[in-house]
A = this chain, B = another copy of it.
């Protein structure tokens, strides 16, 4: 894919530099909006407005939506009011809202000024919903039908109003003051007898969400139910908008990124990496690094407490990193499995004991395998005495078992008390497991080597 974008970008630049605008226009018209936006991302601020003006009207709007905010701002600054109006008129209202949210204040006022009054009103309505709520990601451009319409009447109505709607594939049946009564697909309408009533064909068991629902829940419902659109209703059950599948996919992608960031001890950010300043990145990373560094103090305290034992048997120090790392890795495996299972709803809190039981068996299997391999290595390769080898391998076995149980318990507990389980991943597990591994190590050493 990378090469395709580079080829497109080079072709565009060459044609623009040679001032072959007619050919460039024809070339661009053969491309897809997403590809054009990607190729445009390499253009200079001088070339960009020039080339953008060559795009046919509706492709221009589609491409504009796909571009990064920085380039959108560059374009808008160069637009005449008429050009801006042409783009804004072509935008679906949810894309216009995204734009308004990303742009600086002076650009926003210009955009709202150019939007027609009805669009402006819809934008303002959507802007009132809290960030990341279903209301904030929905579009208000959907098709509403009446239960008393026949299939032919419904299709005639769609033909009359469809042009401005984001989708006509799913239509909604509403009653008095827009109360949601049912859902009907364009497929049903087209395949039906012309005189069949919507009432008899619609599905009255509509799954809908409230405007205040979290966008992550909304996206997960798409994945679960295979919807192509989901209706959004207000507190009184009135249909106020729909969320479409392409938005759900974007949300799902953003939420996955957020989960991965949390799992790597980064506070989530919704800006793309390359356009984020180092200071901004630092702000998202340093709190966790500090917190985890301070937590590691406990590990130091354990070592200090057993300093004499270590001085008496210095060879023990050499195995500290291996024990800590293996414990951390074993714990991470369990925690990530549980976190992902919880997020996909494959694992629920009521499965706690089933999961604990399974992880216990797995940890014994893993622990024994590792301990036996390590024993062979310690005796044959490192040639340490049997007592030391026994201490290291016993610690390894117990650490792996304890780590896997901690890795299972922490995300489950987080879920239970309403925290995000993703935080209980590798970095935090590692820190907890380190302390436990060292305590086990020194207890084993005290017991077997009679140190301390």
Please list the residues of chain A having a beta carbon within 8 angstroms of any beta carbon in chain B. Answer: 1-2, 6, 30-32, 34, 155, 158-159, 162-163, 167-169, 186-187, 190-191, 205, 207, 217, 220, 222-226, 228, 245-246, 249-250, 252-253, 256-257, 260-261, 263-266, 272-274, 278-279, 281-282, 285-286, 288-290, 292-294, 296-297, 299-301, 303-304, 307, 310-311, 314-315, 317-322, 324-326, 328-330, 332-333, 335-337, 339-341, 344-351, 354-355, 358, 361-362, 365-366, 369-370, 373-374, 377, 400, 425-427, 430-431, 434, 438
Secondary structure at chain A's binding surface: helix, strand, loop or mixed? helix
- Once A162-B191, A256-B256, A310-B314 are accepted as A-B contacts, the answer to whether A285 and B333 lie under 8 Å apart by CB is yes
Contact: A314 with B307, CB < 8 Å?
yes
Contact A370 B293 (CB under 8 A): yes
Closest to A335 in B: B264
In the complex the two chains form, is A326's CB within 8 Å of B369's CB? no
For this chain, the copies found in one complex come to 2
B205–A190 touching, CB < 8 Å:
no
CB distance from A161 to the nearest CB of B (A): 10
Query: Does B341 lie within 8 Å of A321, measured CB to CB?
Result: no
Name the one of B278, B288, B361 contacting A358, with C-beta atoms under 8 angstroms: B278
Question: In the assembly, what is the distance between CA of A83 and CA of B325, in Å?
Answer: 55
A62 to B326: give the CA distance in the assembly, Å.
45
Partner pick for A347 among B220, B274, B336, B348, CB 8 A cutoff: B274
Closest to A365 in B: B282
Within the assembled complex, what's the spacing in Å between the Cα atoms of A168 and B264?
A: 43
Distance (whole angstroms) from the CB of A147 to the closest CB of chain B: 17
Top 8 A-B pairs, shortest CB-CB distance:
A264-B336, A296-B322, A299-B321, A226-B246, A278-B361, A300-B318, A282-B365, A303-B318
Tell me which residues across on chain B come within 8 A of A373, comparing CB atoms: 290, 293
A282 to chain B, nearest CB (A): 4
- Provide the residues of chain B in CB contact with A2, threshold 8 Å: 345, 348-350
